[in-house]
Structure 1
Amino acid sequence: MKTQKDYVQLFEMTEQLAEGNLEVEIDEDLGIFNAFKEEVMHIQGGFKKAVEAEVRSQRMKTDLIANVSHDLKTPLTSIITYTDLLKDEDLDKEKRAQYLETLDQKAQRLKVLIEDLFEMSKASSGNITMNLQEVELTSLMKQTLLELEDKIEEANLMIRSNFPEHKVLLMLDSERTFRVFDNLILNMTKYAMPHTRAYIDIVDLEQSVQIIFRNMSADEINVDVDELTERFVRGDQARHTEGSGLGLAIAKSFVELQGGTLDIHIDGDLFKVILTFNK
């Protein structure tokens, strides 16, 4: 009688799961069916995770469409507006030059966004070839910092570096790794608190190499860490700063395509990104 009762309870649980009730529970001892009950509960846990992931995916897709529409529309609207203004034959030379400069800025902004979309699409589909060669990380980082010197100065940011004195050689795609460094440093210039120090460390460990970026955020970071590397998600949710919201997503994709990992840590206003590449 007990075996029959236990079987009925277990059968009812599986029926409810099949009907979509993922909260059903059995706390009782089901005797010889306990092992099977545990397996059913594992399946239930897997269903819950799958549903949560799908809900999150759908939400991210909705956000992606809204955000990319906003980011494409903003410079495009400006281009249309200033093109119409330039049609005025009575426009003085100074105004015309000013409008042309604005047009150029917005066109370049649109170009960068489209290029980022293209890169993200290739990286996500795996339709990208990595040209691996021996890369000296310290030299590449110094080159990146030199090319972004103006941006760093404009952001009133002081970058302190801590690099090994010896050469740090890894098999990487130099162009894509430069892009990763470029995106992460630009991220600092956009979101770090002005007149503060940011830090970049290259740590040569026995089995791996870590590149660590640290800065104090100008605004409170209230975005989930796992979502920051999603497409079009920004720390600046109000979208006051310029940017495609693809920088961290592209960096993460390029790092992972080279066998590395990109991890983000937030401690109060301290924002830290750690790249790890195995030797």
Structure 2
Amino acid sequence: MKIRVPKIIKKLFSPGRKLYTLILSKVSKSIRMELVLVFGICLLASILVGSIVSDSFQGRNARIDYTTGVRRISEQASYIANTLREGKVSVNDKEKVQQTLQHSIQSENFKVLISDLDGKVLYKSANSNETQIDIYSTIKNAMETVRDSEYGNNSAVYRNKEYVSFYPVNFTDARGYLIVSGMPQGEIVYDKNNNNLPGTVAILVTFLSSFYFITNKKMKYIEVVSKGLLEISKGNLDYRIKKYGNDELASLANNINFMAEELKNKIESERKSERAKSELITNVSHDLRTPLTSIKGYLSLIKDKKYSQDSQLEQYVNIAYSKSEKLEVLINDLFEYTKIANNGVSLEKQNIALNGLLEQLIDELVPISEENNVSIFKEFVEEKVIVSVDPNKTMRVFENLLMNAIRYSLKPGKVKVVLYKEEQFALVKVQNNCDNITEEDLEKIFDRFYRVEKSRSTDTGGSGLGLAIAKNIVELQGGEIDVNYNNGYISFNIKFKL
């Protein structure tokens, strides 16, 4: 059966619950607060256990205490003296004095005497027979018993068998002494034998053990963090420390994991850069050596006069010259890419219409496209698309993309150039039909010296830097460029802010 808690009770406990939640949240995020709380809990627990142990080990000594009995005799004497004084009784008023005495001691077995200043007994209780007392001895005995009682030495009272209370009495017409004596009644009292050593030991043991067990989990986690840091320092950058809680240790573990991830990425980046440098050297060596070998070979034939007629000489010269031109293009592309990649190019931005720039470039490339049996189609918006770019550098971007499309289109083929607006951006798509391209090739297509055609023949491809140069120029001007392949068509997409 579910018990419903009244709303008023929920409201009363709501502030306390919120405070508890707030404190718990603060404590869980701070090791300092956790230690303070643990210390407080351990201290309270040790004090509680220590008090229980102290009570268990404390002995009890029985003794007879006469303090209460002595006090009753003294109080009785004080009462009689005050009654006689306040009643303004005459020393000769025997009936009233005797009545006061009998009334005061009717329930007690005390002896009461009233004497004059010389010790002659004037009045006495029924259980007294004295007619004369020694004032000096009486006062002395009374003083000794009072002193012993005040210092807790009740053995003296027990030894004398009675207690004497001495009081001066003032009558209306005389002075005297009141002596009340009797056997004080004793009561059994149990005194504790204080032994603090067991309690102290219990407090110390409880505090240390509870503090150890409560903080044991946290200390183990510190060991886990330390072990993880040692493992990462050995070079195992894939190792990750598990995160527990939200305090500073959890934050430390998270930072160590982040550090390991960053180190891993940096090392992988450096390795990738080294591989890229190695590939760059290999590719540059190959692309430079191929035309250079041809030039050297034909010049060697000319030098050794290994030609039969002038037409063959002219053919050798033309081939060598053609190869030198390709070598020059490769060197220029390499030089330009290096400048752009190292931000060594200054931009001269202008507001230009992409429509006009693309139309001019397409018209210039018509002869080359016809020579390669490729048709170029345009699909532009009617309004002008104005962007702020460097005209020459942007022209180089689209020239590289269009030449790449013409070179790698299936023959006969077609290239489609699309220009439109989308929100605050101008978008250009250069599309052409081509052979199937794998996802791996698509991811590397902007890499320097990368060619989808693996033979690296200069007869079927360019320098391998055109797309890399185009990507760097676009990004240098704050634009974006990407590529996708779908159903036999590859599309390069360029975005510039209007």
TM-score for the superposition, normalised by structure 2: 0.53
Q: CA deviation at 1:4?
A: 1.2
Q: CA deviation at 1:249?
A: 0.9
Q: 2:477 — aligned with what? A: 258
1:194–1:218 Cα contact (<8 Å) kept: no
Which has the higher mean CA deviation after the structures are superposed, 159-168 or 104-113? 159-168
Of 459, 465, 476, which aligns to 1:246?
Answer: 465
Residue 410 of structure 2 corresponds to residue 218 of structure 1: no
Q: CA deviation at 1:80?
A: 0.7
Residue 223 of structure 2 corresponds to residue 8 of structure 1: yes
Residue 388 of structure 2 corresponds to residue 171 of structure 1: yes
CA distance in 2, matches of 1:202, 1:20: 51
TM-score for the superposition, normalised by structure 1: 0.92
Of 275, 282, 299, which aligns to 1:59?
Answer: 275
Aligned residues: 279
Of 256, 266, 289, which aligns to 1:73?
Answer: 289
2:406–2:415 Cα contact (<8 Å) kept: no
Q: Deviations over 1:37-81 (max 9, x none)?
A: 222222222222222222221111111111111111111111111
CA distance in 1, matches of 2:380, 2:440: 31
In structure 1, list runs of 5 or more residues that go unmatched. Answer: none
Of 132, 135, 155, which aligns to 2:349?
Answer: 132
1:123–1:253 Cα contact (<8 Å) kept: yes
- Bigger radius of gyration: 2
Matched position secondary structure for 1:259: coil
Of 421, 433, 441, which aligns to 1:204?
Answer: 421
RMSD: 2.0
In structure 2, list runs of 5 or more residues that go unmatched. Answer: 1-215
1:191–1:219 Cα contact (<8 Å) kept: no
Q: 2:320 — aligned with what? A: 103
Q: 1:141 — aligned with what? A: 358
CA distance in 2, matches of 1:80, 1:140: 41
Matched position secondary structure for 1:245: coil
Q: 1:31 to 1:4 in 2, by over 3 A?
A: farther
Q: 1:97 to 1:90 in 2, by over 3 A?
A: closer
Alignment of 1:262-277 (within 5 A): 262-267=481-486, 269-277=488-496
Residue 222 of structure 2 corresponds to residue 21 of structure 1: no
Q: Which structure has the higher relative contact order (CA within 8 Å, separation 6+)? A: 1
Q: CA deviation at 1:197?
A: 2.6
Q: 1:38 to 1:267 in 2, by over 3 A?
A: farther
2:394–2:473 Cα contact (<8 Å) kept: yes
CA distance in 2, matches of 1:9, 1:191: 57
1:221–1:235 Cα contact (<8 Å) kept: no
Matched position secondary structure for 2:335: helix
Q: CA deviation at 1:180?
A: 0.6
Matched position secondary structure for 1:119: helix
Q: 2:164 — aligned with what? A: none
CA distance in 2, matches of 1:270, 1:90: 47
Q: 1:257 to 1:31 in 2, by over 3 A?
A: closer
